[in-house]
Amino acid sequence: MTDFMLFFLFRLFWALFLGFALTGSLKSTWNAEHGRKGPLWGVRSDNNTVVFLDPLVLPLCIVFYISLCLLFFGWEKSRGYIFSLGVDLFFFISVYFVLVLFLLPALRTRYTARTCATFWVIPVFLFYQPTVIYNYDHLPLPVRPVFYVPRAVIYTLLLVWLGGFALLFAWQVFSHLRFSRMLKTHSHPVEDLEILAIWARVKRDLEIGDLTRPLGLRFSSMIRTPLTIGMYRSNWITYLPERDYSEEEMELIFSHELHHIQRHDTHTKFFLGFVNALGWFHPLVWLAVKKAEEDLELSCDEIVLKDADPSTRKKYAELLLSIAGDGRGYTTCLSASAKTLCYRLKSTVSAREKRLGLPLLFLTIIISSLLMGNVNLSTDRGKMTEVTGLTSADIAEASFYPEGTDHPEAEIPLADPESVSRFLSELEMETYLTSYGEASTADTPTLYGILSETGQSFFLTEDCLTIYEVADHKLSSRQYHVTCPPKWSRITTGPPRTGSAETEDSRK
């Protein structure tokens, strides 16, 4: 079995693991929230109802990976991996969110709001894979599409994108902190014993979630709709507008906000803000994030009204209309602006049964796991000497493996180094901007040789030139994308040599 096949099987195994973990966790939390018995897979020791992984995992993992690389390998050795991670992150999340946006009307028709909300956080689970942490330079990866971008263009786009991302993300955090501070300043604790009794009863009636710790409940004149704010359990606070509510309205409001707390939806809002900043120049990403935020609210509407009669549903719809407002920062609010209320009102008054959609989620995460990281960027197009920085393409010796390096018995020694040098010097190639991974030489036609100028060894396949060098007793490599498959017939001379035991490792 080849290294590539082993790596593919590993990725497939991990994709299956993620699929079972996600669907098992969603089913478990769904049962828990609906009072059904079942394995509490995905419900933590504090009995929150987060599906599989907290959405904060993604931005924290990205920061952790980059910091780890810089700490142990420095900028020079880490920049290829960091650039690759950034490209994968941007391309996959942008494309995925746009696809979900277009499919959302069909998804909302057939599947529960909790299922739709779960679709939006699938990227969180994918970037948790060990294949993201592992150094790609030592893994044989499949052939991936390569997109050429001139160096001046790519660096200009990179600076503009990073600048926009940093500004928008910093503004989000600043706005959230300012809004949170403003609410604390212009609010006061709820002291009405009847309201506090309803608050305590709803927490107790939920029967899920460790909500015995104090959770702040305050009145504020700065808001028009109830909302919950806070990134940690110790500072979660639910704010209520300064107005009178009936007992039934209080129960509905508290049930909605406490489910947000149990699901850590403020963390999901942070993740969605991160995605928005990541694709700040893409208008469809902005729209997709808005729809994802709607699905968070719809999923809480769904669980609040799971056993509600028509009268309660009508009362809930009236409540949404009466307190329409705007949630700022990383907050969850009962009723957003009037523009987003139409679909919520229709869903509220309808009691139509919908599917949980576990098979579709399972299939989506498997396909996404296998497709993630399949984009390459290249730059600096030209002849071999122009791209590699070598003064000549002269070689000291060379051999051709028509069936790959796993078949040394078919090795063809090339007796005319000059013709091979001319062959190499005429090849058009590009420099990889992203970490491509080891070009598989095991079962594909491969040219091996040693450069006269530097003594470095190289392997040339149909789409990749890899030059190896040893520095400080460590083997490293540089890779270049070959734009057109080489015409091997120009260099293959002489009969195959049998009995050779040389392998790719011994050549290196």
For the stretch 446-492, pLDDT in tens is 999 999 988 999 999 988 899 988 776 677 788 899 999 899 988 87
How confident is the model over 1-30, as a mean pLDDT?
85
Instruction: State how beta strands 412-413 and 428-432 pair.
Output: unpaired
CB-based burial, 331-356: b 16+ in 10 Å, e otherwise: bbbbbbeeebbeebeebbeeeeebeb
Residues written for the chain: 508
C-beta of residue 116 within 8 angstroms of C-beta of residue 298: yes
Burial class (CB in 10 A: 0-12, 13-18, 19+), 393: buried
Confidence band for 80, pLDDT divided at 50, 70 and 90? confident
Q: State both tokens at 460.
A: 């040339």
C-alpha–C-alpha distance, residues 204 and 411, integer Å: 75
C-alpha atoms less than 13 angstroms from C-alpha of 44 in its C-beta half-sphere = 13
Where residue 52 falls (left for φ over 0; alpha for ψ -120 to 50; beta otherwise) is left
Residues near 158 by beta carbon (within 8 Å), at least 6 away in sequence: none
| 45 pLDDT more than 60 | no
Contact 445, 434 (CB under 8 A): no
* From 28-32, 193-197, 298-302, 332-336, the region with the lowest mean pLDDT: 332-336
Give the type of residue at 187: S
Give whichever of 127-131, 148-152, 269-273 has the largest mean pLDDT. 269-273
